[in-house]
Amino acid sequence: MRLCVVPCGKLKIWDKNPDAGPTKAKDVYIGPFAKACIDYAERFYPRRYVILSAKYGFLFPDELIPGNYNVTFNDPKTNPIGVEELRRQAEQKGLMKYDEIVVVAGSNYVKIVRKVFAGKKIITPLKGLGGMGLMISAIKRAIEDGREL
């Protein structure tokens, strides 16, 4: 069985609509890349995906996020969640039952997921696609064609 992991993103619903209030994780990240990854997961893994947030860790699509934040795996000063905590979460949320983990995200996320799910088969469909624009195009094409990357 496969689990899909997609990234969070810097641009969030509150950047566009400050009064949005608590929002479901799948509707929070509105940047083009995060949105494309979530759309992909919704299409191919509708009940088997999580969003990896640098602040909250693994989020199910319908989990509520209370409000805006700015935490990134790229800057340790923002205090992102650590691998050990992510492992605990993966256990608690039943994510360790999956044999294969599909990471539809950039290389930083792939590295983190590999550490959390050590020993599992990690599938990286965006690997080697180059920049974000090319990745978004590939994702949109896959959704339109109804064919996984």
pLDDT of residue 78: 96
pLDDT of residue 33: 97
For 131, residues 6+ apart whose C-beta sits below 8 A from its C-beta are none
What CATH code is assigned to 2-145?
A: 3.40.50
**pTM for the whole structure:** 0.97
pLDDT of residue 37: 98
Q: CA-CA distance, 113 to 15, in Å (whole number)?
A: 27
Residue 130 has pLDDT above 90, yes or no: no
